[in-house]
Amino acid sequence: MSGGYPAGEGFAEGDPLPLADAAPGGGVSPGLEARPPAQATLGTGGHMDGRSTEDVECSSCGALVGVWDRYCENCGTDLAPPVDSAGTPGYLTECPVCSADPEAPQGGITADGYCEVCGHKMPSDRDHVPVNLGVLAGLSDRGQRHARNEDAMALAISRSREKPPVAIAVVCDGVSTSPRPDEASLCAARAAVRVLLTGARMEDDPEQTSRAAVAAAFAALEQVAGPDGAPACTYASAVVDADSVTVCWLGDSRVYWLAAAADAAQPAVAPDATTRPVGAAQEWPVSKCLTKDDSLAAELVATGLLSEEEAMASPQAHVITQWLGADFPDYHPHVQRIGLSGPGAVLLCTDGLWNYRPEAGDLAALALPAGLTSPLDAATQLVKIANDEGGRDNITAVLVPFPPSTP
């Protein structure tokens, strides 16, 4: 099941670039993945109309704004909001609860995806959602066996005139044994990415910001808890700047460093993020998994009771010991800032991918060198491989070429 299974419960097998344009079936329209806030009307500096070569029009109100501005001073619009994998809300034309007639005067589905008759919230089309911001890109896919996609991702970029861009990604995997896991993953990813983007814009410490982002995601999940229980999800985030990556996680979604160096397949000792002091940095010239699963399988391996191969083959392979949800208030996120020596790429993924390719060297061989220049193509290839090998779970892969640079 997507997102693993909390211990003690049942389990089974199983500034920046702007908002991307939504395609009718979810995802982004071809060729429009990372266009500027107002692609037309670039100024011609020094002309009588007062425009400079760095002026564009606000996509909301049409006022002139600088290409490096974060917000429109006229209307307050965020010129570079995060992009997530929500798909297209209300893609159904008829309510499955009351069968409201979309042609009736009081019927139909609102733009936000609600039935105008009974108020039922329509599902969003999240089966296959690509997001491409150029500096980073990702793909979230339902897989072959699940009825819906319970994964979610949220991406953002913080840019400034003086410094290289900061790439931000959050990946969450809904816990299938909790109610509304698809809502949990999207809710958490959206809340966290906003905090991470604000922190990057303010040049705050990324480790502190990462902890604040997890707290915001938890608070958002508390708000959506209801009589049916507490929606829950795993969590993984990465803030990638010019010389390091700051990773944060709970559960078994992973962050990898994929090195493009010739010796990238050489073995290296994995970082012990549970004991390394916050702020300690370590360069990894070889491909490595930068996270350590919060799972019974990982604990069995750590205690020497089972080998990694035995643990992953056991029924406890995806029983997680930490997650985000109102039913688990005593969560303890792992945070680590790691110095990087590129070229390479940072990969965030759910277990729907690493179930099939857990080794960093294998992932690097599959994703690189394409992932250095075309991250969406590389993410698409990784998702295809997981689907071709069975697609037993939802699959999400996000790639951030390192060092991040404006395309």
Structure tokens at 197: 């983007």
Spatial distance between the Cα atoms of 187 and 254, rounded to a whole number of angstroms: 19
In the predicted model, what is the mean pLDDT of the chain?
A: 79
Residue 92: per-residue pLDDT: 53
Average pLDDT over residues 238-265: 88
User: In this model, does residue 353 exceed pLDDT 90?
Assistant: yes
Average pLDDT over residues 302-315: 66
pLDDT band at 302 (very low <50, low <70, confident <90, very high): confident
What are the pLDDT digits (tens) for 326-337?
999 999 999 999
Residue 124: per-residue pLDDT: 66
Residue 224: per-residue pLDDT: 93
Residue 184: per-residue pLDDT: 97
B/e letters for 286-324, b = 16+ CB within 10 Å, e = fewer, are bbbbbbbbbbbbbbbbeeeebeeeebbeeebbbbbbbbb
Domains of the chain from N-terminus onward: 5-30+125-402 (3.60.40.10)
Q: In the beta sheet, which residues pair with residue 325? A: 232
Angle at Cα 303 formed by Cα 281 and Cα 361, nearest 5°?
50
Comparison of pLDDT for 203 and 4, the residue scoring more: 203
357 in Cβ contact with 366 (< 8 Å): yes
- Find the helix or strand (DSSP H, E) in which 312 lies: helix 308-313
Phi then psi dihedrals of residue 199, to 5 deg:
-60, -40
Concatenate the DSSP letters of all residues of 15-59 into one string: ----PPPBPTTSSB-TT-TT--TT-S----TT-TT---TTEEE-T
Choice among 21-25, 262-266, 360-364, 372-376 with the minimum mean pLDDT: 21-25
Residue 357: per-residue pLDDT: 95
Spatial distance between the Cα atoms of 281 and 287, rounded to a whole number of angstroms: 16
User: In this model, does residue 296 exceed pLDDT 90?
Assistant: no
Using only C-alpha atoms, the chain has a radius of gyration, in whole angstroms, of 21
**Residue whose token pair is 């985000």:** 324
Residue 88: per-residue pLDDT: 60
Average pLDDT over residues 177-187: 95
pLDDT band at 341 (very low <50, low <70, confident <90, very high): confident
pTM of the model: 0.77
Burial of 401: CB neighbours in 10 Å, binned 0-12, 13-18, 19+:
buried
Residue type, position 314, single letter: S
What are the pLDDT digits (tens) for 81-129?
899 998 765 445 567 677 766 555 556 666 556 777 787 766 668 899 9
251 in Cβ contact with 235 (< 8 Å): yes
User: In this model, does residue 263 exceed pLDDT 70?
Assistant: no
Choice among 147-156, 170-179, 255-264 with the minimum mean pLDDT: 255-264
SS3 assignment, position 375: helix
Residue 298: per-residue pLDDT: 72
Q: In the beta sheet, which residues pair with residue 10? A: none
Choice among 81-95, 209-223, 347-361, 379-393 with the minimum mean pLDDT: 81-95
201 CB contacts (<8 Å, ≥6 apart)?
A: 15, 70, 158
Q: In percent, how much of the chain has pLDDT > 90?
A: 55
**Residue whose token pair is 């990324």:** 206
Residue 144: per-residue pLDDT: 94
82 in Cβ contact with 192 (< 8 Å): no
